[in-house]
Amino acid sequence: MSGSTDRSPALDTTHDPALRSWVAAGNDADTDFPIQNLPFGRFREADDPDWRIGVAIGDQILDLRRCGLINHADMNRLVRLQPDTRRALRLAISAGLREGSAQAARWAETLVPMARAELALPCEVGDYTDFYIGVHHATAVGRLFRPDQPLLPNYHWVPIGYHGRASTLRPSGTDFRRPLGQIRPDADAPPRMAPSQRLDFELEMAVWIGRPNAMGEPVTLATAEDHVFGLGLLNDWSARDVQAWEYQPLGPFLSKSFATTVSPWIVTLDALAPFRRGWQRDADLPQPLPYLDSAANRAHGAFDIDLEVTLQSAAMQAAGLAPQVISQSNFADAAHWTFAQLVAHHTVNGCSLSPGDLFGTGTLSGPQAGQQGSLLELTRGGREALALASGEQRRFLEDGDRIALRARAQRAGHRSIGFGPCTAVVLPAPALNPERP
């Protein structure tokens, strides 16, 4: 079977919930990386400057080149595998990691503990597109600024997106400085250059493009998922005060381009097959145009993935207080479009995608209280402070705050799988030099 959305994705032996691995940590009930997951990433050790391709299993990384499954270390090459070849590789990895495998002794010598490894972005990213498919986020934010028309007329028809900045994408664990920018807090005064005072996070998912398409050749909805290698987590850090001043008329610029944090493991669409669910629009809303619609996409185009955000301030960390859960939502409940629809729309004008290109989904907020994927929503634009366990309050992020995104796909009768952390700490802004801002 191909990975096309014109047929139901099949389960195979790699999804068997009873599978166990000879890597003991891969059998832990709470691991993100059991043998049913097998996500791909890039890593290196302290004594080796070269990046390698690995698969996460428990708290270990299987080096794919050293165990003989691939003969290169180029992830952008690996992600463009044909769907059948990609699934054959997954099956070979699964078979070799299972209890009783004849490969166990030899492959054990290629394992690297995660604690000893440095993780990179999974791919070299040439282009990054950020979408805006979280309908509850778009509605809540729109209501803050346009109470009479929260969603603009095109929202239900077009997967809204903008071209992001690939050069400041960083893997989880890479801290970043609070950005400087032009802000205009007083509408009666000129703008000024200052560190952002309304720094925010955005809970998003990452879509990793695998197979390319030629310029001028749109990808159909039926074949769109053949072009997606897998998913991850993404935090689209946002300077709301800079954004408010700069975004008219062309949208975000410096308010978004200073840092974006991405989880280092790609969870493949093959691993997520047990967690698909139907996608549909409320009947009273506009339905997609034909190039964005199909019976198959409606039947199983969405993914049931639970999402969570935690915040830990510097004071909480010093006092030994655990990170505080501030948001919980679900991808399928939040998303107005599917991944296949994003690929089909992105290419319908002839735009070419390349292996390693990255999509962000936009903020994935749920419809209920406590499901908001940004502080802008949680604090109603900064008007209502969020209380922390330390006695502190937050309207927007302060220096030393650590934000962590997590995701887990789970369903009765299947082994749940996770995505690994997507974490960073806000560092103080650089000194403002009036001669060189």
What residues are labeled active site?
A: 137
Burial, 66: exposed, middle or buried (Cβ in 10 Å; 0-12, 13-18, 19+)? middle
271, 417 in Cβ contact below 8 A?
yes
130, 162 in Cβ contact below 8 A?
yes
Burial, 259: exposed, middle or buried (Cβ in 10 Å; 0-12, 13-18, 19+)? buried
- C-alpha separations of 312 from 54, 179, 318, 388, 405 in Å: 30, 20, 10, 9, 12
Measured CA to CA, the distance from residue 339 to residue 159 in angstroms comes to 10
Sign, CA torsion 24/58/35/41: negative
Which ranges of 292-350 does DSSP label H, i.e. alpha helix? Answer: 295-300, 314-318, 331-334, 339-347
Q: Which residue is it, tokens 């950020």?
A: 130
Q: Which residue is it, tokens 């934000």?
A: 403
